[in-house]
Structure 1
Amino acid sequence: MTSVLPPQSQMGITEDQLRELIQGPGEEWSYDMRRRCQEILPHLYLGPLQASKSLETLQALGITHILCIRDAKEAFAVRPRFPDNFKYMTLNVEDSEEQNLIRLFPQAKEFIDIGAAQGGRTLVHCNGGISLSPAFVVMYVMQHYQMAWEDALHMVQNRRYCISPNGGFMTQIKEYESIYKAGLAVQRFPPQQQQRVVSRRKREDDEDDEDVRDQDRKRILVDDDGDNDDGNAMQS
């Protein structure tokens, strides 16, 4: 799935601006704020189930899309509540260290990007807004700004201080940095140049194969000559 929005770093953002983004608004954190959602990007909010229950609050924030991430066992409680008012995507994800997030992330990213491209805002939430949904948001921020995983994590933490993805999720967040960077490298490589590289490598492989065949033929001839010499020596 391809991204709808161009990354901010490709739109002329400076290192100083990026540093300010990571630092965040510097708002003093209080315990009750974990029950509310926080703005991570102008088009992206992160929070717990509680934040998805108030129609009035969601409309006041300009939310248009809601990404509901839950363990399947929580489906009775963590579910779309206002399907007539918002566009929903629901992902069943276990909050366990063995859960594969990287495989599911492209769906989440596309949903958020489409909402932004339509001029909307997406709330990403799970039950507590501590581990599951923050892991997806950190990966999104990382790729959106093309930043290191540590910077993305700090950026999200500086807006929602209570996040704490489990160890398995943290490992995948780190791994995803190299994955998205590899994808960017491929995108920046002109198709014509890719074809030239493939053709050159094929020629090189063919030449290597021909060299191997030549060496094999020479080895056979040498072996044959050696056999004849040995035979003559035995007869003398």
Structure 2
Amino acid sequence: MSEEQIRSVIQGPVDVEWRYEMRRECQEILPGLLLGPFVASKSLPTLESLGITHIVCIRDAKEAFSVRPRFPERFKYMTLDVEDNEEQNLIRLFPGAKGFIDQAISQGGRVLVHCNGGISLSPAFVVMFVMQHYQLSWEDALHMVQNRRYCISPNGGFLTQIKEYEAIYKANVAHASFPQTARATARRKRSDEDDEDEQRCALVDDRKRPLVQEDSQEDPNAMQT
């Protein structure tokens, strides 16, 4: 995308007036990906009207009795049990969630990502997703999600991990874009260097061998003294 298109994506719709009660609704962050609270996932008519096909249910383990898949026969779920505190490692859990979302969208599905309140935990996952999807900085990704769901506020620990994830995904992109031929050349170069090392070692071994080998057997024709 051009710089202007990226700015437009980050800014989002400018004609939406945020209302407090919208905290209890879900919002579309990018085509096919919606973010909201658990209450939005409990209304079957709402989910059907939004065309939802997949749901990522992110919950604190203590909430499992209430925050749970409600319609497993109607939607495909991924459930993540985490702790909604600053010590929780989200980066470790993110690849699985990203794979689930990517597969759903690639198949033409629509995914709702929710936690209990849709304020801190699930938004952290969605910020990391849009960051990598559009190859944005963490600040731009956070602004993009906030411009669509104004009430999000990842806690300090989650925000730190969002910042850390920018370096991780950029390193993966750089590695993936490294030309295959260059990788093969680098492997061949290492192989050639290994062969040269083996040849040098063999040459050193040859130099260490005695030039004349002593014969351990006596010459029967030698004079006896």
Instruction: Please indicate the TM-score interval, normalised by the length of the shorter structure.
Output: 0.7 to 0.9
2:8 alignment partner, one of 20, 31, 45: 20
Quote the residue 1:150 is aligned against. Answer: 139
Q: Which has the higher helix share?
A: 1
How has the CA–CA distance of structure 1 residues 205 and 147 changed in structure 2, closer, same or farther, with 3 Å as cutoff?
Answer: farther
Distance 1:93 1:141 in 2: 21
- RMSD of aligned alpha carbons: 2.1
CA distance in 1, matches of 2:141, 2:50: 23
TM-score, scaled to structure 1: 0.80
CA distance in 2: counterparts of 1:21 and 1:46, whole angstroms: 16
Superposed CA deviations along residues 151-199 of structure 1, whole A, max 9, x for unmatched, are 0000000000110111111111111111111111111113331132244
Displacement of 1:121 in angstroms is: 0.3
Which of 75, 80, 94 aligns to 1:91? It is 80
Matches within 5 A, 1:153-168: 153-168=142-157
Residues 125-144 of structure 1 mapped to structure 2, 5 A cutoff: 125-144=114-133
Cα separation, 2, equivalents of 1:53 and 1:154: 28
The alignment partner of 1:67 has SS state of: strand
Return the alpha-carbon distance in structure 2 between the equivalents of residues 131 and 17 of structure 1: 27
* 3-state SS of 2:113 partner: strand
Partner of 2:181: 192
Runs of 4 or more above 4 Å deviation: 201-211
In structure 2, stretches of 5+ residues that fail to align are 201-225
Q: 1:193 to 1:159 in 2, by over 3 A?
A: same
Structure 1 residues 178 and 84: CA distance shift in structure 2, 3 A: same
Match of 2:32 among 35, 38, 43: 43
Larger Rg: 2
1:175 corresponding residue in structure 2: 164
The alignment partner of 1:123 has SS state of strand
Q: Deviations over 1:25-51 (max 9, x none)?
A: 121111100000001011000000011
TM-score normalised to the size of structure 2? 0.83
Superposition map of 1:51-90 within 5 A: 51-90=40-79
> Matches of 1:62 and 1:139 in 2, distance apart?
23
% same residue: 72
Give secondary structure in 1 for the equivalent of 2:144: helix
How do 1:187-226 and structure 2 match up within 5 A?
A: 187-201=176-190
Match of residue 89 from structure 2: 100
Deviations 1:70-91 (A, max 9, x none): 0111001110000111000000
Count residues in correspondence.
Answer: 201
Distance 1:192 1:171, change over 3 A: same
Task: Give the one of 20, 23, 40 matched to 1:34.
Answer: 23
Given residue 109 of structure 2, which amino acid in structure 1 is its aligned partner? G
